[in-house]
């Protein structure tokens, strides 16, 4: 049977189930990826399993989020992670070495492998033809323990690329075009697979940009074929032996089809405050710009930064516009320096920062009150920058550079009269720097794991009661992101290893007294609209609410990763059978679900919910395995029970 690339990878890794869209499957995971904002808790969860070493081909821990050391917390977490990596056999990328996705691409990625990462932008590994997916930290910890990853078998959306990008249009505009077509939930339950003659015109780092932001489509993952461009990148990294060809069969079929003619694309931009609010740059041209940031987890590779260098070379940013560069890795910055790119950036007024996520997750670089910020980042959810009511636009490096020079949103094609478009070719050889990666050794088994006072044990979670009686603590609308549920930023991120402390910030942007409300009400419910929990994979958006007593979330629909995280921590992810019942819900009302334990145990899908004299029906669409986790009060409880039964 002719197969597309997605099916080929899934077939090679299938452990349980059938490759039928919607049915639960389990796949073997080759690589796992942790970053420090999610990795501290994931490492604590892995330790709770009681294993001597990780059981995947390669596990990597990156420090790229919590880089600001304003007190002891982040430094302590970094030391904990480094010592735990040595103890359990995990590669450790030191602070400042770079963003997980870029560093993994440079040093470890290989075509045809699977990867599970505790970061929603893990599909950036599509640049090297990996089937990479974001997940909650607990799912990654279980993969590190050698267990398969369970997910609904995705559909495959085949996107045929034709033509070649015109000058001043780049890979970011391709994924923005996809977001213009599909918005932030149009690819739920799908892998987006790119094929066709246009693919060969895109570099590995171009493909990584598209894979990275495929997450904003709601997609399970993104994948590209492995071709000569892939081989050239790996050879330039001194890893040519890691290459293998991987492409769809000539007559391969897809569940859905789309086509993008690269030659007709124009510069695009996502307006505040959603990656799906995409318009042409010309439609918003002329808006004054206070801040421009190039880099972070998207558009921080060598080709993008060198193109910005050549655009701004010999010129200076506008007087009222702050200009920032966030390199994707130390190696990228070294190669920019090798190409004589540092001095032109400095002379253009750019602030060159250490390699890390930084402003992308509100760790510094927050814009001022009412200011407009153009960023090449993947997300612009409300308040994510660290500034309430922020005005963040997402754009390509070319559009960002044009705005930095002109001080207003500018279609970069308008620069053509004074600047020749820089044609940047991927180098045949790169400076390769792995000096800031600590590779695991057998001797590491004797390492003492160091724990600072902010690192608290994983909280105990009670099993599901026989009858559930909860009060509605908050009602929210559509497309609520995990940023809205569990904010990031320099106040909150350092608390990721302390659930009691971080729980004080749940729904902080929408309801500052939410934690007090939960303590007053006891066990509570959250009511949401469509696509509840979009965005980041952060499991703290499930674990911290559970700590506060949230046992039930009732929504019109859920984002994939957040729904899985809710099951992992024993929170019922229920969907209104009749979406109109959402309108009947009010904050403070009491919901009761009698015999809920028995109903879930016997496999009921439709569950009655009593709300103060009325009854509605809710739907629980989860796998048998997830039902067992919900009954046990969480997946860690269930796995412990399972391991105990086997011993």
- The pLDDT of residue 646 is 55
Instruction: Give me the residues of the chain with pLDDT under 70, please.
Output: 643-647
Query: How far apart (Å, rounded) are the C-alpha atoms in residues 158 and 174?
Result: 15
What CA dihedral angle connects 514, 520, 522 and 525, to 10 degrees?
Answer: -40
pLDDT at 647: 43
Query: Which residue from 554, 500, 499, 501 is spatially nearest to 524, judged by alpha carbons?
Result: 554
Q: What is the reported pLDDT for 190?
A: 97
- The helix/strand/coil state of 246 is strand
Q: What is the pLDDT of residue 121?
A: 94
* 99 torsion bin: left (phi>0), alpha (psi -120 to 50), beta (else): beta
Does a cis peptide bond (omega within 30 degrees of 0) precede residue 273? Answer: yes
> Any long-range contacts for 278-281 (C-beta under 8 Å, 24+ apart)?
278/176, 278/177, 278/179, 278/180, 279/180, 280/411, 281/395, 281/399, 281/409, 281/410, 281/411, 281/412
| DSSP E strand stretches across 40-140 | 58-62, 91-93, 114-117, 131-134
pLDDT in the model for residue 643: 66
Q: Hey, CA dihedral for 397, 399, 403, 406, is it positive or negative?
A: positive
The predicted pLDDT at position 406 comes to 98
From the candidate CATH numbers 3.30.565.10, 3.30.499.10, 2.120.10.30, 3.30.300.30, the one assigned to the domain spanning 5-264: 3.30.499.10
Contact 19, 1 (CB under 8 A): no
Residue 423: the pLDDT is 92
The CA distance from 260 to 291, in Å, is 31
Is domain 281-414 annotated with CATH 3.40.50.12780?
Answer: no
pLDDT given for residue 17 in this prediction = 96
What pLDDT, on a 0 to 100 scale, did the predictor assign at position 644? 63
State the span(s) of the chain assigned CATH 3.30.499.10.
5-264, 281-414
| Cβ–Cβ under 8 Å, residues 274 and 178 | no
Radius of gyration (C-alpha) of the chain in whole angstroms: 24
The residue whose two tokens read 């044990």 is 457
Query: Is residue 334 packed enough to be buried (19+ CB in 10 Å), middle (13-18) or exposed (0-12)?
Result: middle
Q: What is the pLDDT of residue 69?
A: 84
Q: According to the model, what pLDDT value does residue 425 have?
A: 86
pLDDT of amino acid 245: 97
pTM above 0.85, yes or no: yes
Domain 468-646: which CATH number of 3.30.460.10, 3.40.718.10, 3.20.19.10, 3.40.640.10 = 3.20.19.10
Contacts (Cβ under 8 Å, ≥6 apart) of 602? none
Whole-number Cα distances in Å, 475 to 335, 487, 526, 579, 589:
50, 17, 6, 14, 11
Q: For residue 26, how many other CB atoms are within 10 A of its CB? A: 17
- Give CA–CA dist 127/13, Å, rounded: 19
């Amino acid at each position: 049977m002719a197969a597309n690339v997605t099916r080929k990878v899934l077939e090679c890794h299938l452990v349980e189930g059938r490759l039928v869209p919607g049915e639960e499957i389990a796949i073997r995971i080759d690589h796992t990826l942790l970053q420090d904002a999610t990795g501290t808790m994931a490492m604590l969860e892995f330790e709770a399993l009681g294993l001597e070493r990780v059981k995947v081909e390669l596990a990597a821990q990156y420090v790229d989020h919590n880089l600001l050391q304003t007190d002891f917390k982040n430094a302590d977490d970094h030391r904990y992670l480094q010592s735990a990596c040595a103890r359990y056999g995990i590669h450790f990328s030191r602070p400042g070495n770079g963003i997980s996705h870029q560093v993994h691409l440079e040093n470890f990625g290989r075509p045809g492998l699977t990867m599970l990462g505790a970061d929603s932008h893990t599909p950036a590994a599509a640049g090297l033809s990996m089937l990479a997916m974001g997940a909650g930290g607990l799912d990654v910890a279980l993969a590190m323990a050698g267990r398969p990853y369970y997910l609904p078998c995705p559909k495959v959306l085949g996107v045929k690329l034709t033509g070649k990008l015109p000058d001043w249009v780049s890979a970011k505009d391709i994924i923005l075009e996809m977001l213009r077509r599909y918005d932030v939930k149009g690819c739920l339950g799908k892998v987006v697979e790119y094929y066709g003659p246009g693919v060969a015109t895109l570099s590995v780092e171009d493909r990584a940009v598209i894979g990275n932001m495929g997450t904003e489509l709601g997609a399970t993952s993104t994948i590209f074929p492995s071709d000569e461009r892939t081989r050239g990148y790996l050879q330039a990294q001194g890893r040519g032996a890691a290459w293998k060809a991987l492409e769809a069969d000539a007559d391969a079929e897809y569940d859905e089809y789309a086509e993008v003619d690269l030659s007709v694309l124009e510069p695009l931009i996502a307006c505040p405050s959603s990656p799906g609010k995409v318009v042409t740059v010309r439609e918003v041209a002329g808006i004054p710009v206070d801040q421009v940031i190039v880099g972070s987890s998207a558009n921080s590779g060598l080709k993008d930064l060198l193109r910005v260098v050549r655009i701004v070379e010999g010129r200076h940013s506008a007087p009222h516009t702050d200009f920032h560069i966030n390199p994707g890795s130390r190696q990228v910055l070294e190669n920019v320096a090798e190409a004589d790119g540092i001095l032109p950036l400095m002379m253009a007024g750019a602030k060159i920062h250490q390699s890390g996520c930084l402003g992308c997750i509100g760790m510094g670089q927050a814009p001022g009150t009412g200011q407009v910020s153009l960023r090449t980042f993947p997300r612009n959810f409300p308040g994510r920058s660290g500034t309430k009511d922020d005005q963040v636009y997402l754009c390509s490096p070319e559009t960002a550079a044009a705005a930095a020079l002109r001080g207003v949103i500018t279609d970069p094609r308008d620069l053509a009269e004074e600047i020749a478009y820089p044609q940047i070719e991927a180098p045949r050889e790169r400076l390769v720097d792995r000096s800031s990666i600590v590779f695991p050794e057998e001797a590491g088994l004797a390492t003492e794991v160091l724990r600072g006072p902010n690192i608290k044990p994983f909280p105990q979670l009670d099993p599901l009661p026989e009858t559930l009686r909860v009060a509605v603590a908050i009602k929210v609308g559509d497309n609520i992101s995990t940023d809205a549920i569990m904010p990031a930023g320099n106040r909150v991120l350092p608390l990721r290893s302390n659930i009691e402390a971080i729980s004080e910030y749940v729904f902080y942007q929408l309801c500052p007294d939410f934690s007090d409300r939960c303590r007053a009400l006891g066990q509570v419910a959250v009511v949401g609209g469509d696509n509840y929990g979009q965005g980041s994979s952060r499991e703290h958006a499930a674990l911290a609410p559970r700590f506060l007593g949230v046992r039930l979330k009732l929504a019109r629909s859920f984002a994939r990763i957040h729904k899985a995280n809710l099951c992992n921590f024993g929170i019922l992810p229920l969907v209104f059978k009749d979406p109109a019942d959402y309108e009947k819900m009010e904050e403070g009302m009491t919901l009761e679900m009698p015999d809920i334990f028995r109903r879930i145990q016997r496999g009921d899908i439709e569950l009655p919910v009593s709300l103060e004299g009325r009854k509605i029906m809710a739907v629980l669409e989860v796998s048998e395995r997830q039902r067992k986790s919900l009954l046990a009060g969480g997946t860690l409880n269930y796995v412990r029970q399972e391991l105990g039964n086997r011993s």
